[in-house]
């Protein structure tokens, strides 16, 4: 489990630092609006609608995990939910919030 978390943190660091190293600037017209999902408050329906690779079953698993284990402390804790892996977390990392925005 510890190795998984270390690997996950390394992958997220690499994924998050790549855009910062890219050269050039984007115009305001190409910016996208990110819709946020609060994994501690939002419904399974909202999660399945907005998170990439998360359908109704995975979204319901997130809600069940939250109800059984209490609120999430970080987005990284999602990998503890059956069916949610590092890849799913990485694809949705910018859209996931824990608590208020």
Inform me whether the pLDDT recorded for 101 exceeds 50.
no
44, containing H or E segment: helix 44-50
Q: How far is it, in rounded angstroms, from Cα 81 to Cα 77?
A: 8
Q: What is the pLDDT of residue 99?
A: 84
pLDDT tens sequence across 61-90: 999 999 999 999 999 999 999 999 999 999
In a domain, 92, yes or no: yes
In a 3-state reduction of DSSP, which class is residue 23? Answer: coil
Q: How far is it, in rounded angstroms, from Cα 34 to Cα 52?
A: 12
In a domain, 76, yes or no: yes
Answer whether 54's CB lies under 8 Å from 15's CB: no
Q: How far is it, in rounded angstroms, from Cα 48 to Cα 9?
A: 24
Q: Does 88 or 30 have the greater pLDDT score?
A: 88
The answer to whether the pTM exceeds 0.75 is no
Number of domain units in the chain: 1
In a domain, 60, yes or no: yes
In a domain, 27, yes or no: no
Residue tagged 């790549």 (tokens): 18
In a domain, 23, yes or no: no
The predicted model gives 54-65 an average pLDDT of 98
- What is the CATH classification number for the domain harbouring 48? 1.10.150.280
In a domain, 16, yes or no: no
Domain that residue 39 falls in:
33-101
């Amino acid at each position: 489990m510890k190795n998984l978390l270390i690997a996950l943190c390394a992958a997220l660091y690499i994924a998050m630092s790549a855009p910062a190293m890219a050269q050039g600037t984007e115009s305001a017209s190409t910016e996208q609006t990110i819709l946020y999902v609060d994994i501690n408050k939002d419904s399974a329906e909202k999660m399945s609608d907005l998170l990439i690779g998360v359908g109704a079953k995975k979204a319901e698993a997130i809600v069940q995990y939250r109800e059984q284990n209490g609120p999430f402390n970080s987005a990284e804790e999602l990998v503890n939910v059956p069916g949610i892996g590092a890849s799913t977390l990485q694809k949705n990392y910018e859209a996931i919030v824990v608590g208020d925005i």
